[in-house]
C-alpha cells in the first residue's frame, strides 16, 4: 500500500487528532517536569499511589444489623458544588475584576477576550519542556527516529527485540513473544514508497521506530508510520524498570 492510500483511510475512515489544537493537561505537565528532574538530578518521582488502610474486624466496633422494621428511609443528600470554598473565592475574585472594568468604563465582553488571549499566550507547549542538558546533569536522554529499512535500525535490532520481549512478558504476561511475531507486527510494513517530505531532516514517508535512549541504553520504542499529512502511532514498548517515568504518557507527547 502506498502512503497516500493509507493517508486517505485515516482521513475518511478512521479519523485522527488535530495536533495543532492539543493542550497539555496538568498531569501531562507533571510527567514532563518529573522527567526533567530525573535527568537533571537523578531524583525519581514520588509514588502517587495511596496507601491502603487495613480494616480491623472487631465485634465491639461492628455496626448492629437492623431488623427490617428498624430501617428508615433517609433522603439522598445532594452535594452542591457551589459550596466549594475554593470555587466561591475564585468567583468572588472574578466578579471583583469585572466590577473594576465596569468602573473604568471598559467593555466587559471585550476585556474577557483580551484576558483569554493573554492566558492562551502564557500556555506552555511540549517544546518548552525540552531542555538542553549541560555537564551537571545526571542522565542523558536521546530521542532518535530511525527508518525500519536503515542500517542503523539493523545495528540495534537485537536490543530492540529484547526490550520488546521484556515488555511483553512483564506488562502483558505474554510467555512466548517470538522474533517472528515481533518482525511481522512491528518491523515489516505494507507501505512500499518513500516519498520525500518537506523537512530539514530529509525524512521520507514510511515506517519508523522512535528510540528513547537513556545513557546509551534503549528504554522505550514508539512504532510509527509517517505519512504525507500526519503521523500514525502503531505501538509502544518500554522497559518496565523505568515505569516510574510514566513512559507511556511521555512518549505520546
The predicted model scores a pTM of: 0.70
112 and 170 in contact (C-beta within 8 Å)? no
Residues 207-230 as b or e (16 or more Cβ within 10 Å = b): bbbbbbbbeeebbbbbbbbbbeee
pLDDT attached to residue 14:
61
Distance CA 52, CA 81 (A): 28
Phi-psi region of 37 (alpha: psi -120 to 50; beta: other; left: phi over 0): alpha
Of 186, 172, 188, 238, nearest in space to 211 by CA: 238
245 and 220 in contact (C-beta within 8 Å)? no
Task: Tell me the sheet residues that pair with 144.
Answer: 211
Distance CA 14, CA 34 (A): 34
Distance CA 152, CA 210 (A): 12
pLDDT tens, residue order, the chain (253 aa): 666 666 666 666 666 677 777 888 889 999 999 999 999 999 999 875 443 334 444 444 444 434 444 444 444 444 445 566 666 787 888 888 889 988 998 898 998 888 888 777 667 888 888 889 999 999 999 999 999 989 999 999 999 999 999 999 999 999 899 999 999 999 988 776 667 776 657 788 888 999 999 999 999 999 998 887 778 888 999 999 999 999 999 999 8
Q: Kindly report the number of other CB atoms within 10 A of residue 96's CB atom.
A: 10
The full set of domain ranges for the chain reads 25-41+93-136, 140-252
Amino acid at each position: 500500500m502506498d502512503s497516500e492510500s493509507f493517508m486517505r483511510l485515516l482521513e475518511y475512515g478512521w479519523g485522527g487528532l488535530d495536533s495543532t489544537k492539543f493542550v497539555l493537561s496538568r498531569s501531562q505537565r507533571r510527567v514532563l517536569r518529573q522527567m526533567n528532574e530525573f535527568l537533571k538530578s537523578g531524583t525519581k518521582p514520588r509514588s502517587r499511589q495511596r496507601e491502603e488502610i487495613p480494616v480491623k474486624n472487631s465485634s465491639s466496633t461492628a455496626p448492629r444489623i437492623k431488623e427490617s422494621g428498624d430501617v428508615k428511609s433517609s433522603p439522598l443528600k445532594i452535594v452542591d458544588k457551589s459550596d466549594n470554598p475554593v470555587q466561591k473565592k475564585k468567583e468572588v475574585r472574578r466578579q471583583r475584576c469585572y466590577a473594576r472594568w465596569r468602573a473604568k468604563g471598559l467593555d466587559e465582553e471585550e476585556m474577557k477576550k483580551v484576558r483569554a488571549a493573554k492566558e492562551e499566550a502564557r500556555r506552555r507547549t511540549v517544546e518548552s519542556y525540552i531542555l538542553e542538558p549541560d555537564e551537571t546533569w545526571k542522565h542523558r536522554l536521546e530521542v532518535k527516529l530511525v527508518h525500519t529499512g536503515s542500517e542503523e535500525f539493523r545495528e540495534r535490532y537485537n536490543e530492540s527485540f529484547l526490550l520488546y520481549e521484556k515488555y511483553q512478558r512483564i506488562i502483558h504476561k505474554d510467555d512466548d513473544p517470538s522474533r517472528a511475531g515481533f518482525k511481522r507486527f512491528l518491523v515489516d510494513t505494507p507501505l512500499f514508497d518513500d516519498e520525500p517530505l518537506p523537512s530539514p531532516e530529509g525524512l521520507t514517508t514510511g515506517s519508523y521506530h522512535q528510540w528513547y535512549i537513556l545513557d546509551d541504553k534503549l528504554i522505550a520504542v514508539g512504532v510509527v508510520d509517517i505519512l504525507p499529512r500526519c503521523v500514525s502511532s502503531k505501538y509502544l514498548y518500554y522497559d518496565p524498570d523505568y515505569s516510574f517515568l510514566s513512559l507511556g504518557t511521555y512518549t505520546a507527547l
